[in-house]
Structure 1
Amino acid sequence: MIFPTDPRRRAMWRWGGALAALLVLQSIVLALAFWMLANGSHRRAIEHALADDCTFFRLTPPDERAEELREKLARDIHRDRFLGLFDAKGALIAGNVAHLPPVVPGGASFVADVAPTELPGKHSDQARITVCPLSADMRLLAGVDLDDTEEALRLVWRSLLLGLVPGRVLALGFGLVAGRRAARQVDTVRRLTERIMSGDLAQRLPVPAHPDSFGMLCAHINTMLDRLQLLIADMRGIGDDIAHQMRTPLTRLRARLDRGLRDAADAEDFAAVADQALVQIDALLGIVAALLRLRELEDHARRSRFAPVDLAMIVDDACDLHRPLAEDRGIALACAIAPVPPVEGDASLLMEAVANLIDNAMKFGPAGGAVRVSVSLAPEGAVVTVADDGPGIPAAERALVTQRFYRARTDRDGAGLGLSLVKAIADLHGFQLRFADDRSAVMLVCPS
């Protein structure tokens, strides 16, 4: 046989050959097991019959044993039974066996040549026999002719051999076909991974309408690739956003430093330039810290630290934290907190989410307005609501304001990361972030 030189074709042949060899070996093992079971079943049936004969004659009175033996032989129409009563010296008392075998091994039964006395023209025959003592001066030889048994076993063996021939052919054919099919499927996955490693993330595996196990695996791989492509696109988008968002404030910072250094006339002017630069640098560091915070939240590694959290206490603490700032800005901060069942989560993250919502309401609400914070219990769980007197977020922008660096038309100073952090914290906890349709309010729904 000429084997292909292409490594992929050689792999297909190896897969097919290995599977075919396994199937052929399985068929041979099954045939041998069936043969051993059939042979053992014949032997056990014979030994059971011989044991019955020994038991019967052992229970028969000594003076009736010869007559019972002759009746048993008369009922043996197939002439395949051997029975003989012998005295202590080995002389035949009654039966169809001329003499005992020269050697009587221990054990239940053994195969030996016997000399039949009632089979004309036959001086020796092979049988499975047993010699059992009936009394101190009498022994019984019981045996079964093996000619019919061996013929039956030979027929079984020939049937198995004849059945193995087409079985081996089918096993070889099925093994080669199935092995090559499996090798082609693996090769399809390999080619896909090569294209993905080269940068083509749009490639997907074909999935049939009624997938088998490999088809389901292909579907899962495609889902994994969709998620991978989405994450890579997200990372690229984050990189572009960071470059875009950081370039403008860095350019502005450099221009201010350059102008301030050129226009500064004394130490006080230099100090003022430095103070302005520090303010802008702190803002840039805040953006970087917020991005790192978002990356930490999207990792979902903090779920292992979740514990029952009193949501009412967290909102109350957030209100206390923002009251001094609200008074400085002339904003009326009102908090209506009702007791709610504990929720599973991270207390520090939930505190950060509520604080961001309150801070946004104070920042984008009208000057001298009011911010209302409430905790209530709804059929779907605990609800934290933060509302202000502003116009609210337009419906067209609600899906956008939770994206990184997106700023509404009214947002002039923020970096566009506040609601992104709140949305990431809500997703981590399995909560929902909603916007009211009839008023300027943001709701955090926390199923208990």
Structure 2
Amino acid sequence: MLLTNLLKTSTFRLAVIYLALFVTSVIALLGYIYWNTAGFLARQTDQAVEAEIQGLAEQYAQGGLPLLVHTVIQRSRDPRQSLYLVLDPRGNVLAGNLDAKPAALQGPDGYVEFNYQRRTMEGVERHAARARYIELPEGFFLLVGRDVEERRNIESLITASLIWAVALTLGLGLIGGLIMSRNMLARLDDINRTSREIMRGDLARRIPVSGTGDELDQLAGNLNNMLEQIEALMMGMREVTDNVAHDLRSPLNRLRNRLEVTLMKPASEADYKEVLEKTISEADHLLTTFNALLSIARAEARSSRESMVDVDVSALVLDAVELYEPVAEEANLTLKAEVPSGLKLFANREILSQAIANLIDNAIKHGRKGEDGGEITVTAALSQGRVVLSVADNGPGIPEADRARVLERFVRLEASRNTPGSGLGLSLAAAAARLHNGQIELSDAGPGLRVTLSLPV
């Protein structure tokens, strides 16, 4: 089963493809070496035979047949690799180191290849030879050749080396492919095993990283980052669900109890009107909460990027300040804006406007400094290719340890429990920052809180 899985892996198939290319290259290289070596040895043999024939032809031209026979007899005493044979017209051997004329037929190139008996110290050996015939005048016959047994042995050795090289390459390549496939399959099994555990609900599981930094490690790292984001989103969704159930249960209970109490006792028209007005107010509060949640969801899903346009941020901030000035005056607060004209930003107008409004509303609710009121300053500026929006108050501020937590949904600190709200204002501002690839930062205004949105133009 394991071997079947190994053979099915893309790594093994890729190894086989590379192995086939490598074996083809080895065969071509060794074949070229064999062809050149064998060709060189064959040419060397033929050149030696041609040189012998040329020398004997000169001897024949100078002294005729007697000098040729004498020369062949002299050379046959120490023949080394050379072969000689001189025959008379009746086929009798006059000189040479061969016993008879070879029975092999002459080839198209004028050469004949044959086997002959060679006497050595160990006895008689059968060797291969390559020679050339020459017909002399008056029916005499001359053969000059070379012993090619050593050449044939070299060619056989090269052929055997070629076969062994191809066989070893194939064997080692297949073994290497199986080893690589096994390692790859083991790592992929880890990924598949982790994926199955995650699908069963264990979102805390992560894909193991070997530490080699290869492409599988990079894939595992990216998948782990994705899993962390998915886990964070799932936890956020779980928290939102719990918070929605917790925070909306009280107003719904109040609304139901108020209506139930009103129906249980006799009431005048004025009483009914008052109860209905309170009911509408509670419903408006619930709708505001749900609208804020929908805005946050749209911003985090990044679906609102499709409706982005060039926005005049200066006008947007001034409109929000003008809208909240009466509310600030009622809370005994001074609301002022320090905004240059002409600030432009490619953004979602609705979400950015709602984020600015939420920051100002949040500052009005929590930016009082006792009964003496206080001051809220809204600023906007262009800095290093980013539009920086800031809302600062001189209220009690937020402790540094809680500043990251208040950006989550439905988080309200103890000091804010008595003020109206749902704990979604800063969450929406944070979602707007993420939608526009920007950042949100909470800092100390000395005294008070400063919330800064930094958004790339």
TM-score (norm 2): 0.68
Instruction: Give deviations 1:257-314, integer Å, cap 9, x for gaps.
Output: 1112112424443333232222212211211111111111111233354454432222
**Deviation (angstroms), 1:195:** 1.2
What is the alpha-carbon distance in structure 2 between the residues aligned to residue 122 and residue 190 of structure 1? Answer: 71
- Asked whether the equivalents of residues 34 and 158 of structure 2 are also in contact (C-alpha less than 8 Å), the reply is no
CA contact (8 A) 1:20 1:173 kept: no
Q: 1:43 to 1:354 in 2, by over 3 A?
A: farther
Q: Work out whether residues 340 and 382 of structure 1, in 8 Å CA contact, stay in contact via their aligned partners in 2.
A: no
3-state DSSP of counterpart to 1:393 = coil
Whole-angstrom CA distance in 1 between matches of 2:164 and 2:8: 28
Structure 1 residue 154: deviation in Å? 6.1
What per-residue deviation string (whole Å, max 9, x for no partner) do you get for residues 27-49 of structure 1? 4322343366568879999xxx9
Alignment correspondent of 1:12? 6
Q: Paired residue for 1:34? A: 29
Change (3 A) 1:385 1:424: same
The counterpart of 1:373, out of the listed 360, 366, 378, is: 378
2: CA distance between counterparts of 1:215 and 1:396? 35
Alpha-carbon spacing, 1:377–1:193, altered in 2? closer, same or farther (3 Å): closer
Deviates more, 1:249-258 or 1:220-229: 220-229
2:286 aligned residue = 284
Give the drift of 1:17: 6.7
Q: Deviations over 1:382-421 (max 9, x none)?
A: 4333233432333343222222111231343110111111
Offset at residue 321 of structure 1 (A): 2.4
Structure 1 residues 302-359: Cα deviation after superposition (integer angstroms, max 9, x where no partner) = 3354454432222122222223444555543322222475344333322222211222
- Distance, in Å, in 2 between the alignment partners of 1:80 and 1:241 is 106
- Matched residue pairs, number? 367
Task: Tell whether 2:444 aligns with 1:436.
Answer: yes
User: Closer, same or farther in 2 for the Cα pair 1:123/1:379, shift >3 Å?
Assistant: closer
**Distance across 2 between alignment mates of 1:352 and 1:206:** 43
Which letter does structure 2 place at the counterpart of 1:323?
E
Superposed, which structure 2 residues align to 1:257-268 within 5 Å? 257-268=259-270
Q: Does residue 240 in structure 1 map to residue 242 in structure 2?
A: yes
Change (3 A) 1:78 1:240: farther
Asked if structure 2 preserves the Cα contact closer than 8 Å seen for 1:19 and 1:179, the reply is no
Q: Distance in 2 between matches of 1:391 and 1:276?
A: 31
TM-superposed deviation, 1:76: 4.8
Q: Secondary structure at the match of 1:158?
A: helix
Cα gap change, 1:21/1:381 in structure 2, threshold over 3 Å: closer, same or farther?
closer
Matched, 1:115 2:110: yes
TM-score, length-scaled by structure 1: 0.69
Q: Secondary structure at the match of 1:202?
A: coil
Q: C-alpha displacement at 1:241, in angstroms?
A: 1.1
For the pair shown, the structure with the greater C-alpha radius of gyration is: 2
For 1:195, the equivalent position in structure 2 comes to 197
SS of match in other structure, 1:322: helix
1:410-448 per-position Cα deviation (integer Å, ceiling 9, x unaligned): 343110111111121122221333333412242424355
1:399 aligns with 2:404: yes
Contact 2:394 2:445 in 1 (8 A): no
* Matching residue of 1:427: 434
Moved more, 335-344 or 12-21: 12-21
- What pairs with 1:240-389 in structure 2 (closer than 5 Å)? 240-327=242-329, 331-339=333-341, 342-366=344-368, 369-376=374-381, 381-389=386-394
Three-state SS of the structure 2 residue aligned to 1:313 is helix
- Whether contact under 8 Å (1:294, 1:424) holds in the other structure is yes
419-428 vs 434-443, greater mean Cα deviation? 434-443
In structure 1, distance between residues paired with 2:426 and 2:244:
17
Equivalent position of 1:219 in the other structure: 221
Displacement of 1:167 in angstroms is: 1.5
Q: Residues 262 and 272 of structure 2 are in contact (CA less than 8 Å); yes or no, is this contact kept in structure 1?
A: yes
Check conservation: 2:359, 2:451, Cα contact below 8 A.
no
Alignment match, 2:78: none
Residues in 2 aligned to 1:421 and 1:310: alpha-carbon distance in whole angstroms: 20
Aligned partners of 1:189 and 1:205 also within 8 Å: yes
Provide the alpha-carbon RMSD of the alignment: 4.0
Aligned partner of 2:194: which letter?
A: L
Counterpart residue type for residue 428 of structure 2: L
Contact in 2 for aligned 1:309/1:345 (Cα 8 Å): yes
The C-alpha deviation readout for 1:113-147, integer Å capped at 9, x for no partner, is 12259xx984579xxxxxxxxxxxxxxxxxxx9x9
- Report if aligned partners of 1:306, 1:344 keep a CA contact under 8 Å in 2: yes
- 1:37-72 deviation per Cα after TM superposition (whole angstroms, max 9, x unaligned): 568879999xxx9xxxxxxxxxxxxxxxxxxxxxxx
| Partner Cα distance (1:76, 1:37) in 2 | 22
Does 1:414 pair with 2:421? yes
Unaligned segments of structure 2, at least 5 residues: 55-106, 113-128, 135-145
Which position in structure 2 is the counterpart of 1:25? 20
Most deviating of 327-336 and 191-200: 327-336
- Shift of the 418–81 alpha-carbon distance from structure 1 to 2, 3 Å rule, reads farther
What is the correspondence of 1:125-164 to structure 2 with a 5 Å cutoff? 156-164=158-166
Q: What is the SS of the residue equivalent to 1:243?
A: helix
CA distance in 2, matches of 1:290, 1:347: 15
- 2:182 maps to what in 1? 180
Structure 1's 387 and 178: CA in aligned 2 closer, same or farther, altered over 3 A?
Answer: closer
Q: Does the 8 A contact of 1:392 with 1:441 survive in 2?
A: yes
How far does the alpha carbon of each residue in 1:212-237 deviate from its partner, in whole angstroms, 9 at most, with x for none? Answer: 33233223322222222222111111
Secondary structure in 2 aligned to 1:114?
A: coil
Letter in 1 for 2:421: G
Question: In the alignment, is the contact (CA less than 8 A) between 2:394 and 2:446 conserved in 1?
Answer: no
Q: Do the aligned residues in 1 keep the contact of 2:407 with 2:427 (CA within 8 Å)?
A: yes
